[in-house]
Amino acid sequence: MITVNGAEHALPDDPRTSLLDFLRRDVGLTGTKKGCDHGQCGACTVIVDGIRINSCLTLAVMHDGDEVTTIEGIGTPDAPSALQAAFVKHDGFQCGYCTPGQICSATAMLDEIAAGWPSDVTDDPAERPTLTDEEIRERMSGNLCRCGAYSNIVAAIREVAGARS
């Protein structure tokens, strides 16, 4: 069994089914997007047991017993998460195709920072990372936006991170 957004689902019969295809086809959650299908764009980012991953690069059967959170589990149109609301406020999307992956990645990223996880641009890995634009960009570098809404995405993340502090 795999738990997706709090609901249990049987694993697919075909062990070759990617987590991405399982979520979209078998569970019916189409918010997670198939972009490159090679782990290069981040459109398929979901959170598995608190860690963000590219769902196109892993098999669903590898997540037996895991808790998966997709964009549908982060918020709804009537009750958006703080990040979803900030993305709308700061126009952190244009076409919107990458937005679910961006928001899942940013959600997990804020938890990583709160836990003190350093990145490649963290000044002192022994200290809690300072949330600079450079730090956000580095941590979000696995999520591409073909429309180029990066500055707006960073602004949305900074707003939510500031509210958490």
pLDDT digits (tens, 9 = 90+) for 76-124: 999 999 999 999 999 998 899 999 999 999 999 999 999 999 899 988 8
Q: Are 69 and 92 found together in one domain?
A: no
Rg (CA), the chain: 16
- Burial group, residue 4, by CB count within 10 angstroms (0-12, 13-18, 19+): buried
> Which pTM was predicted?
0.94
Beta-carbon contacts of residue 33 (< 8 Å; ≥ 6 apart): 43, 44, 97, 98, 100, 101
* Domain boundary residue, one of 74, 109, 125: 74
> To which H or E segment does residue 149 belong?
none
Q: Are 105 and 50 found together in one domain?
A: no
Q: What is the pLDDT of residues 17-73, one digit of tens each?
A: 999 999 999 999 999 999 999 999 999 999 999 999 999 999 999 999 999 999 999
Q: Are 92 and 160 found together in one domain?
A: yes
pLDDT at 109: 96
Range of the domain at 65: 2-74
For residue 165, pLDDT beyond 80: no
Q: What is the spatial distance between Cα 124 and Cα 102, in angstroms, rounded to a whole number? A: 26
List strands edge to edge, sheet with 7-9: 7-9, 2-4, 67-69, 45-48, 51-54
* Domain boundary residue, one of 74, 106, 121: 74
Q: For residue 126, give the CATH number of its domain.
A: 1.10.150.120
Q: Are 114 and 151 found together in one domain?
A: yes
pLDDT at 128: 81
Domain count, the chain: 2
pLDDT at 162: 84
Q: Are 47 and 113 found together in one domain?
A: no
Q: Are 92 and 152 found together in one domain?
A: yes
Q: Are 99 and 140 found together in one domain?
A: yes
